[in-house]
């Protein structure tokens, strides 16, 4: 068994789960303690010792199924075992079968579902419709059986629908049985494919994307608050609070053994966020707006602006509304963005922005621009942007385009770049996280 | 004295006896923790019973519970040990004249002048204990690094005294809300357990365990509503503790159904943000008003 486990660990490593020797030793020890016969316990023991985060755990579960299924099949090929196929498929009554399967999906055990999956495949094979592609066959079988997953608000009366999760389970059984048949036919295992992104993803609901953005932005807040603290060392620049030190020294007979420091208040970041909502960034603007939305949840001192040709402040909209849908609808309809031509005019945006916030900008404020820097051939007014960046403590630019496309066509990223503390390409939450990490590395401008 | 779990089944049933309904992974990890003597890292959203698991382990294993609550800025002096300066000073003052320096020095760095903090207490305790390090993600990375020695060797080095080794192996439970990625080094030393919100059935059992007088039908509907609320995009989804609170409140109020009026009156027990309140009233309240929920049970 030990070599098998090592193989399994190898496969986990290929999928990016960090499995070290110490984890493996733990796994062996854990497997000594639990019974080997229970599949559940076995898997849980591996999960507790090898996977160290929820994502890892999910990958492990998927791989576990596949790996041990393949291991069994390989053994079967080696020993030239084939399973007894179900005989007498000719006599099967499709309607009765349909009914039984539906029952099993609603209430049946794992074993029952497996048996019925085999029956279904046999009945299906009789009709001579096997396409040879497993995914297609599964869909055909499901259609032939007339199985439908329950919808969100199904009327309980519909006899044809079955719980969606259970149906997925049944489909998994069908898929597995088909795979097994295929392996028996070809006498070889298909090559193991790396997991697709889809398989890796945790089960989701539609709100998840939004909540992920929220999570990353919460991180951003922490990073901005403790900005650069670690670079200075914890105690170096603290001021001794003489009064409190003297008072504390009374307990030790007047000897100031314990120094009391003035508590240092973390800087409260002031954010100015400018968000491009023009057509050239349509695909990214939902993402941008959700970033803005999340920022508003986290920061008190935040002013947000959207712009196309001209700029418009939307701080109120975000503060009044909580639901993301309402916010995006209101911004689309009545944010008052002067969208005459639909083309972004960055130069004009800077002039207007500077005019609006000139007096409020100070070294404590951070300016974040979300946009693609495509000016549609108009004057970029880079020095004006430079002026904004100069007044603000930090300036960051988040560009939704891949770095490769920057400065091609009408993109003038390079003329703004020198004024920024950092520019980032960013259109997924992962890249947003990279952005957050990167700005944590920067030294504060005013704090030295 | 403490009793180890012999099998996974036993772990589950004994945790159940002390009021903690463990699911399969939780029972197995509790069993393994005792067997392998490894710390357990429990992660999951707020309010799924991470801390409760540690408490249940201490009750079920008849071990004392020592708790270290983590927060930003927690340091060695608060977590490990500290020298009792005042006492040392008094000692020096009383003996300054007769004794030589060498003797005083040996004296003032003895165990008598050591203030032990939770970690040292847990290590030096003679009876077996459960050490709960709560919300480890609130501390900084330096503190995590300091924990490594304690967690892997179960010992603490005090420069003046030498190494203090554990007399009995404490059962260590670390909890984290996942607000910060923990270091690999720490994770490597722990068994990992992810606790999530329970399924309807399991949560129903939990609610029934803690509020046994509540009618089964109401309890089920209550749990269904809670699950519906969790599916919304809230600032803070209701925890298990809050569903138990709600069940008890309904008992006190003598409610005989969970309908729209009851929900609106008692909503503040499960939802704690103003904006969330509006959202829940709008989305869930309407459904209750139409009687979509609970039909399967009543009809």
Percent of chain A with pLDDT over 90: 0
Q: Which residue of A has its CA nearest to B5?
A: A33
Chain A residue numbers touching B31 (CB-CB < 8 A):
33-34
Is residue B40 very low, low, confident or very high in pLDDT (cuts 50, 70, 90)? very high
Q: Which residue has the tokens 């596949």?
A: A66
Chain B residue numbers touching A25 (CB-CB < 8 A):
none
Partner residue facing B36 (CB), from A26, A57, A323? A26
- Of the listed ranges A82-96, A339-353, A390-404, B64-78, the least confidently predicted one is A82-96
Q: Summarize pLDDT for B26-37 with one digit per residue, the tens.
A: 999 999 988 888
- Rounded Cα gap, residues A277 and A211, in angstroms: 21
Q: How far is the alpha carbon of B29 from chain A, nearest alpha carbon, in Å? A: 7
Q: Which residue has the tokens 């900008």?
A: A361
Record the tokens describing residue B199, joined without a space. Answer: 């399924």
Is residue A338 very low, low, confident or very high in pLDDT (cuts 50, 70, 90)? very low
Partner residue facing A48 (CB), from B192, B275, B278? B192
Q: What pLDDT score does B65 carry?
A: 93
Q: What pLDDT score does A137 carry?
A: 73
Partner residue facing A205 (CB), from B8, B32, B231? B231
The verdict on A47 touching B (C-beta cutoff 8 Å) is yes
Q: Which residue of A has its CA nearest to B274?
A: A322
Interacting residues of A401 by C-beta distance below 8 A, sequence separation 6+:
A372, A411, A425
Chain B residue numbers touching A255 (CB-CB < 8 A):
89
* CA dihedral sign, ordered B135, B138, B144, B149: negative
Q: How far is the alpha carbon of A163 from chain B, nearest alpha carbon, in Å? A: 15
**How large is the average pLDDT for residues A402-415?**
82
Could B85 and A257 be called an inter-chain contact, meaning their C-beta atoms sit closer than 8 Å? yes
- Rounded Cα gap, residues A73 and A180, in angstroms: 7
- Rounded Cα gap, residues A225 and B136, in angstroms: 20
- Of the listed ranges A27-31, A341-345, A424-428, B135-139, the least confidently predicted one is A341-345
- Rounded Cα gap, residues A418 and A397, in angstroms: 11
CB atoms closer than 10 angstroms to residue A189: 14
Could A52 and B41 be called an inter-chain contact, meaning their C-beta atoms sit closer than 8 Å? yes
Could A255 and B187 be called an inter-chain contact, meaning their C-beta atoms sit closer than 8 Å? no
Q: Which residue has the tokens 């030990």?
A: A2
Q: What pLDDT score does A337 carry?
A: 57
Chain A residue numbers touching B184 (CB-CB < 8 A):
18, 52
Q: What pLDDT score does B174 carry?
A: 94
- Rounded Cα gap, residues A312 and A310, in angstroms: 7
Is residue B260 very low, low, confident or very high in pLDDT (cuts 50, 70, 90)? confident
Chain B residue numbers touching A263 (CB-CB < 8 A):
none
Could B278 and A23 be called an inter-chain contact, meaning their C-beta atoms sit closer than 8 Å? no
Q: Which residue of B has its CA nearest to A255?
A: B89
Q: What pLDDT score does A90 carry?
A: 55
Partner residue facing B32 (CB), from A45, A53, A257? A45
Interface mutation vs chain A, best among B30, B34, B194, most A CBs within 10 Å = B194
Q: How far is CA A158 from CA A120, A153, A169, B203, B260, in A?
A: 23, 11, 20, 28, 27
Q: What pLDDT score does A159 carry?
A: 54
Interacting residues of A10 by C-beta distance below 8 A, sequence separation 6+:
none
Given a contact cutoff of 8 angstroms between Cβ atoms, the answer to whether A331 and A286 are in contact is no
Interface mutation vs chain A, best among B32, B74, B153, B236, most A CBs within 10 Å = B32
Nearest CA among A344, A427, A409, A356 for reference residue A381:
A344
Q: What pLDDT score does B2 carry?
A: 57
CB pairs under 8 A between A and B: 83
Chain A residue numbers touching B275 (CB-CB < 8 A):
322
Q: Which of residues 298-357 of A touch B (CB under 8 A)?
A: 322-324
Q: Which residue of B has its CA nearest to A157?
A: B296
* CA dihedral sign, ordered A206, A209, A210, A214: positive
Chain centroid, CA B299 distance in Å: 41
Chain B residue numbers touching A297 (CB-CB < 8 A):
235
Tell me how long chain A is.
448
Is residue A426 very low, low, confident or very high in pLDDT (cuts 50, 70, 90)? confident
Given a contact cutoff of 8 angstroms between Cβ atoms, the answer to whether A410 and A374 are in contact is yes
Q: Give the E-state strand segments of B102-194 in sequence order.
A: 114-116, 129-134, 155-158, 162-165, 171-176, 191-194
- Of the listed ranges A261-270, A312-321, A322-331, B130-139, the least confidently predicted one is A261-270
Could A48 and B179 be called an inter-chain contact, meaning their C-beta atoms sit closer than 8 Å? no
Q: What pLDDT score does A198 carry?
A: 45
User: Is the confidence at residue B50, as pLDDT, over 50?
Assistant: yes
Could A41 and B35 be called an inter-chain contact, meaning their C-beta atoms sit closer than 8 Å? no
Chain A residue numbers touching B189 (CB-CB < 8 A):
22
Partner residue facing A48 (CB), from B85, B193, B278? B193
Q: Summarize pLDDT for B192-248 with one digit per residue, the tens.
A: 998 888 888 889 999 988 888 888 888 888 898 898 888 877 778 889 989 999 999
Q: Which residue has the tokens 């020096």?
A: B92
Residues of B near A (Cβ–Cβ under 8 Å) read 8, 24-25, 28-29, 31-32, 35-36, 38, 41, 43, 85-86, 89, 93, 179-180, 184, 187-194, 231-233, 235, 275, 278-279, 292, 295-296
Looking at residue A1, the DSSP 8-state letter turns out to be -
Interface mutation vs chain A, best among B28, B137, B140, B232, most A CBs within 10 Å = B28
Q: Summarize pLDDT for A98-140 with one digit per residue, the tens.
A: 777 777 777 767 677 777 777 777 776 655 555 566 667 777 7
Given a contact cutoff of 8 angstroms between Cβ atoms, the answer to whether A423 and A395 are in contact is no
Is residue B299 very low, low, confident or very high in pLDDT (cuts 50, 70, 90)? very low
Could A253 and B93 be called an inter-chain contact, meaning their C-beta atoms sit closer than 8 Å? yes
Tell me how long chain B is.
299
Q: How far is the alpha carbon of B252 from chain A, nearest alpha carbon, in Å? A: 33
- Rounded Cα gap, residues B243 and A210, in angstroms: 25
Bigger pLDDT: B92 vs B291: B92
Q: Summarize pLDDT for A206-224 with one digit per residue, the tens.
A: 444 566 666 677 666 666 5
The verdict on A30 touching B (C-beta cutoff 8 Å) is yes
**How large is the average pLDDT for residues A388-405?**
84
- Rounded Cα gap, residues A384 and A354, in angstroms: 8
Q: Which residue of A has its CA nearest to B293?
A: A153
Given a contact cutoff of 8 angstroms between Cβ atoms, the answer to whether A335 and A314 are in contact is yes
Could A51 and B85 be called an inter-chain contact, meaning their C-beta atoms sit closer than 8 Å? no
Q: What pLDDT score does B175 carry?
A: 93
Could B194 and A57 be called an inter-chain contact, meaning their C-beta atoms sit closer than 8 Å? yes
DSSP helix, strand, coil percent of chain A (3-state; round to 5): 55, 10, 35
Q: How far is the alpha carbon of A7 from chain B, nearest alpha carbon, in Å? A: 20
User: Is the confidence at residue A243, as pLDDT, over 80?
Assistant: yes
Q: Summarize pLDDT for A54-112 with one digit per residue, the tens.
A: 778 888 888 888 787 777 777 777 776 665 555 555 556 667 777 777 777 777 676 77
Given a contact cutoff of 8 angstroms between Cβ atoms, the answer to whether A163 and A105 are in contact is yes
DSSP B218-245: HHHHHHHHHHHHHHS--SS---HHHHHH
> What average pLDDT does chain A have?
73
The verdict on A165 touching B (C-beta cutoff 8 Å) is no
Partner residue facing B28 (CB), from A41, A156, A255? A41
- Rounded Cα gap, residues A173 and A113, in angstroms: 7
Q: What pLDDT score does A127 carry?
A: 58
SS (H, E, C) B178-202: CCCCCCHHHHHCCEEEECCCCCHHH
ipTM: 0.75
- Rounded Cα gap, residues A300 and A364, in angstroms: 14
Q: What pLDDT score does B58 carry?
A: 92
The verdict on A155 touching B (C-beta cutoff 8 Å) is no
User: Is the confidence at residue B4, as pLDDT, over 50?
Assistant: yes
Given a contact cutoff of 8 angstroms between Cβ atoms, the answer to whether B79 and B118 are in contact is yes
**How large is the average pLDDT for residues B139-154?**
84
Chain A residue numbers touching B192 (CB-CB < 8 A):
47-49, 51-53, 57
What's domain A270-441's architecture?
Answer: 3-Layer(aba) Sandwich (3.40)
User: Is the confidence at residue B118, as pLDDT, over 80?
Assistant: yes
């Amino acid at each position: 068994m030990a070599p098998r486990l090592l193989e399994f660990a190898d496969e986990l490593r290929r999928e990016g789960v960090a499995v070290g020797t110490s984890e493996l030793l733990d796994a062996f020890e854990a497997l000594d303690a639990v019974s080997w016969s229970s599949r559940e316990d076995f898997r849980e023991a591996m999960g507790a010792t090898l996977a160290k985060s929820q994502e890892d755990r999910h990958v492990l579960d998927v791989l576990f199924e596949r790996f041990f299924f393949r291991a069994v099949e390989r053994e079967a090929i080696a020993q030239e075992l084939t399973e007894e196929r179900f005989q007498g498929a000719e006599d099967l009554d499709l309607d009765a079968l349909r009914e039984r399967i539906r029952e099993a999906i609603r209430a049946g055990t794992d074993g029952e579902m497996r048996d019925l999956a085999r029956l279904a495949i046999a009945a299906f094979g009789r009709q001579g419709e096997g396409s040879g592609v497993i995914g297609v066959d599964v869909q055909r079988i499901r259609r032939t059986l007339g199985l439908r997953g329950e919808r969100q608000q199904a009327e309980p009366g519909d006899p044809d629908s079955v719980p969606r999760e259970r149906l997925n389970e049944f489909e998994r059984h069908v898929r597995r049985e088909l795979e097994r048949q295929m392996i028996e036919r070809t006498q070889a295992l298909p090559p193991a494919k790396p997991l697709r992104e889809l398989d890796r993803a945790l089960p989701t609901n539609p709100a998840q994307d939004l909540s992920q953005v929220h999570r990353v932005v919460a991180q951003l807040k922490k990073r901005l608050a403790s900005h650069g603290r670690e670079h200075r060392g914890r105690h170096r620049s603290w001021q001794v609070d003489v009064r409190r030190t003297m008072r504390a020294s009374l307990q030790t007979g007047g000897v100031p053994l314990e120094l009391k420091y003035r508590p240092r208040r973390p800087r409260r970041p002031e954010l100015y966020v400018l968000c491009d909502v023009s057509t050239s960034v349509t695909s990214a603007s939902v993402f941008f707006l959700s970033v803005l939305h999340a920022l508003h949840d986290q920061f008190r001192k935040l002013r947000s602006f959207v712009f196309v040709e001209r700029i418009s402040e939307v701080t109120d909209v975000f503060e009044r509304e909580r639901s993301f849908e309402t916010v995006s609808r209101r911004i689309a309809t009545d944010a008052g963005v002067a969208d005459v031509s639909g083309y972004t005019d960055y130069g004009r945006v800077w002039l207007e922005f500077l005019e609006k916030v000139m007096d409020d900008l100070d070294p404590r404020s951070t300016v974040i621009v979300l946009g693609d820097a495509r000016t549609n051939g108009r004057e970029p007014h880079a020095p004006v942007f430079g002026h904004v960046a100069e007044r603000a403590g930090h300036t960051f630019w988040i560009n939704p385009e891949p770095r490769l496309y920057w400065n091609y066509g009408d993109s003038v990223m390079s003329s703004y770049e020198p004024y920024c503390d950092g520019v980032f390409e960013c259109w997924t939450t992962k890249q947003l996280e990279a952005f957050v990490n990167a700005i944590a590395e920067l030294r504060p401008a005013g704090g030295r | 004295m403490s009793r180890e779990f012999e099998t996974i089944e036993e772990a589950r049933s004994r945790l159940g006896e002390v009021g903690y309904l463990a699911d399969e992974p939780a029972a197995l990890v509790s069993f393994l923790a005792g067997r392998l003597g490894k710390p357990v890292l429990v992660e999951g959203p707020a309010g799924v019973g991470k801390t409760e698991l540690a408490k249940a382990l201490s009750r079920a294993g008849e071990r004392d519970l020592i708790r270290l609550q983590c927060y930003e800025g927690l340091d060695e002096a608060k977590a490990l040990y500290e020298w009792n300066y005042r006492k040392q000073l008094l000692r020096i003052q009383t003996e300054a004249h007769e004794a030589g320096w060498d003797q005083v020095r040996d004296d003032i760095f003895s165990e008598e002048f050591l203030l032990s903090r939770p970690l040292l207490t847990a290590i030096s305790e003679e009876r077996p204990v459960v050490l709960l390090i709560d919300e480890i993600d609130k501390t900084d990375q330096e503190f995590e690094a300091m924990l490594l020695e304690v967690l892997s060797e179960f010992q603490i080095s005090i420069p003046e005294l030498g190494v203090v080794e554990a007399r009995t192996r404490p059962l260590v439970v670390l909890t984290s809300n996942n607000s910060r990625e923990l270091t690999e080094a720490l994770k490597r030393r722990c068994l990992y357990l992810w606790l999530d919100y329970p399924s309807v059935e399991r949560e129903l059992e939990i609610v029934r365990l803690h509020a046994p007088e509540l009618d089964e039908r109401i309890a089920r509907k209550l749990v269904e509503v809670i699950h519906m609320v969790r599916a919304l995009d809230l600032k803070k989804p209701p925890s298990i503790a809050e569903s138990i609170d709600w069940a008890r409140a309904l008992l006190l109020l003598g409610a005989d159904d969970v309908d729209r009026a009851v929900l609106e009156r008692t909503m503040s027990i499960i939802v704690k943000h103003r904006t969330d309140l509006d959202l829940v009233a709008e989305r869930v309240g309407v459904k209750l008003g139409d009687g979509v929920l609970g039909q399967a049970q009543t009809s």
